[in-house]
């Protein structure tokens, strides 16, 4: 299955997914990285694996629909079957949702529905909860409101900082995301 990964930042989840395709843990091919940040670190990670990158700055488009139509055109040109959001910091709009309905997933650093949106790790620390985690879900028009596919808890210790908790969460993300994607792909090809 040909997949595209959308990322806005460092790209650690994108790299974990690409690695999983290279080691045979994930029966897919990452054919495109899409980023809305032309200087994002994910571009360096993609270059390392020779994965093509399309960096599209939304400010260069008349509106969200025209920006997303350019993305859809790129996805179709690359024969992408499935879209994987990995730190893509934009709400997906109607144009992309309609083109890839039921074929877009996202990862979020909390046990949704707790702490949707930005800074989920900081929100969990501020709330002084003992458990947070990772959620993988289908994308819908809301913010982190789509059908949950998989979740895994992460314990918060009293000594955790945002940085130490983020490292623990990312460790879980890098294992859970490829494993969950493989389950989705296996189900879709049955």
pLDDT of residue 125: 96
pLDDT at 97: 98
Could you report the per-residue pLDDT of 111-146, keeping only the tens digit for each? 999 999 999 999 999 999 999 999 999 999 999 999
Q: What was the pLDDT predicted at 188?
A: 84
pLDDT, residue 189, reads: 73
Rounded Cα gap, residues 153 and 134, in angstroms? 6
Say how far apart CA 32 and CA 52 lie, in whole Å.
Answer: 5
- pLDDT at position 190, please? 66
Which residues of the chain are modeled with pLDDT < 50?
Answer: none
Q: Residues forming the annotated binding site for (6R)-10-formyltetrahydrofolate?
A: 64, 89-92, 106
Tokens of residue 25, six digits: 């843990």
Show binding-site residues: 11-13, 64, 89-92, 106
Distance between CA atoms of residues 54 and 111, nearest Å: 31
Topology adopted by domain 2-188 = Rossmann fold (3.40.50)
Give yes or no for a cis peptide into 113 (omega within 30° of 0): yes
Q: How far apart (Å, rounded) are the C-alpha atoms in residues 116 and 144?
A: 6
Residues noted as catalytic: 108
Residue 85 phi/psi, 5° resolution?
-85, 130
């Amino acid at each position: 299955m040909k997949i595209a990964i959308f990322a806005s930042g460092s790209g650690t989840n994108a790299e974990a997914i690409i690695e999983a395709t290279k080691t045979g843990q994930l029966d897919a091919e990452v054919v495109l990285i899409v980023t809305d940040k032309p200087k994002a670190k994910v571009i360096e990670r993609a270059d390392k694996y020779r994965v093509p990158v399309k960096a599209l700055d939304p400010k260069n488009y008349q509106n969200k629909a025209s920006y997303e139509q350019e993305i859809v055109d790129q996805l179709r040109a690359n024969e992408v079957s499935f879209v994987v959001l990995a730190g893509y910091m934009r709400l997906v709009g109607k144009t992309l949702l309609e083109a890839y309905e039921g074929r877009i997933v996202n990862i979020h650093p909390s046990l949704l529905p707790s702490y949707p949106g930005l800074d989920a790790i900081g929100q969990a620390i501020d709330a002084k909860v003992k458990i947070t985690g990772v959620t993988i879900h289908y994308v819908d028009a809301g913010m982190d409101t789509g059908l949950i596919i998989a979740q895994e808890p992460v314990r918060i210790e009293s000594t955790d900082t945002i940085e130490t908790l983020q490292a623990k969460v990312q460790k879980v993300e890098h294992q859970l995301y490829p494993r969950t994607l493989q389950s989705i792909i296996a189900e879709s090809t049955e």
